[in-house]
Amino acid sequence: MANELQQEIDLFLQYLMQEKRLSTHTVSSYRRDLTQLELFCQQQNLIEWPLITAKHIRQFISQLHRQGLAGRSIQRCLSAIRSLYRFLIREGLADINPALVVQAPKTEKRLPATLDVDQMNSLLEQTEQDTMIGCRDRAMMELFYSSGLRLAELAGLDLRDIDFGDQLVYVTGKGNRARVVPVGQKAIKALQVWLKKRDDLGFFEQMAVFITQQGRRLGVRSIQKRLSHWGKQQGISEQVHPHRLRHAFASHMLEASGDLRAVQELLGHADISTTQIYTHVDFQHLASVYDSAHPRARKK
């Protein structure tokens, strides 16, 4: 009877390969996760799937967590167990799916790496503006850092989207949500230098803000390559890419203002929890704010 669990796991894996047409790699992952569950069940003298309850599944998940398995891997394992029970119920080998009410530990979301203020100043101030490409790239980086735009937002900008009088940029972000973001003085100046260079080269009819030497809209891959080029040129060890500049904008804004809600609006995040994950605030800054603001933290 002890092999009954394994026999039904094998039936399930056969079903995945023959009927669901899953890849060998995916099926191997299912096999690895479910074999761990089978070993746990044998240790608990659980010899049939209907005997396994939500409590047992929680104990198994807790064991994986104690063993140091990453949250994402535990989520994958729990998903495999749920899929197995759906199959067993369909085949009449189980009545309920005990894994449905079990939650995996929350996966720790890694903070995106950022650039500090000195690195940003070095990157922006030392980017040459003598050539068309230099002018364009400086304007792109200034705008990324000034307004926290996403890569697709910047690539899709048209001339009508920038209000130089009020120093604003109009963008449409994720979920087709429109927002208006301020543009700093240095970014405005860099954009003006770039657009004059563009006009001097005769690109009057192209509505895209950032274009190639041939007058076509600059694509997202090309923008990524240009930022990476300037990062290497300035000797910045970390790779420079649009997401990092957007994160630097968010980090530096939050560190200076402490206004999470305002940063959320500037970034265009629908949920403030995304902003909390996205931004990185130096702990010493948080500690100093706490010490100065909390009535029970102040030293006499």
Judge contact between 41 and 59, C-beta under 8 A: no
Whether 14 and 123 share a structural domain: no
Q: Which one of the listed residues 56, 136, 138, 150 is annotated catalytic?
A: 150
Active-site residue (options: 136, 138, 246, 252): 246
- CATH classification at residue 70: 1.10.150.130
Known active-site residue 285: no
Q: Of these residues, 30, 85, 145, 278, which one is catalytic? A: 278
Considering 20, 174, 221, 285, which one is annotated as catalytic? 174
Number of domains in the chain: 2
* Nearest CA among 203, 196, 207 for reference residue 158: 207
Q: Which residues pair with 158 in a beta bridge?
A: 208
CA geometry: angle 81, 83, 88, nearest 5 deg: 90
Rounded to whole angstroms, the Cα distance separating 51 from 71 reads 26
Same structural domain for residues 93 and 207? Answer: no
Evaluate whether residue 87 is within a structural domain.
Answer: yes
Active site residue 278: yes
Active site includes 145?
no
DSSP state of 158: B
Per residue of the chain (300 residues), what is the pLDDT tens digit?
Answer: 447 888 999 999 999 999 888 888 889 999 999 999 999 998 999 888 999 999 999 999 888 888 888 888 888 999 999 999 999 999 999 999 999 988 877 665 565 567 888 888 888 887 777 889 999 999 999 999 999 899 999 999 999 999 999 999 999 877 778 889 999 999 999 999 999 999 998 888 899 999 999 999 999 999 999 999 998 888 876 688 888 888 888 888 877 777 778 888 888 877 776 676 665 555 556 566 667 776 666 554
Instruction: For residue 297, tell me if it sits in a domain.
Output: no
65 flagged as catalytic: no
Concerning whether 290 is annotated as a catalytic residue, the answer is no
| Residue 106 placed within a domain | no
Looking at the structure, tell me whether residues 14 and 146 fall in a common domain.
no
Is 300 part of any domain?
no
Whether residues 181 and 57 fall in one domain = no
pTM beyond 0.75:
no
106 catalytically annotated:
no
Residues 96 and 121 in one domain: no
Of 269, 280, 285, 300, catalytic: 269
State the CATH number of the domain containing residue 215.
1.10.443.10
Q: Is residue 111 part of a domain?
A: no
Same domain as 135, residue 270: yes
SS3 176: helix
Residue 170: enclosing H or E segment and its boundaries? strand 168-172
Range of the domain at 65: 4-101
Q: Is position 109 within any domain?
A: no
Q: Are 15 and 87 in contact (CB under 8 A)?
A: yes
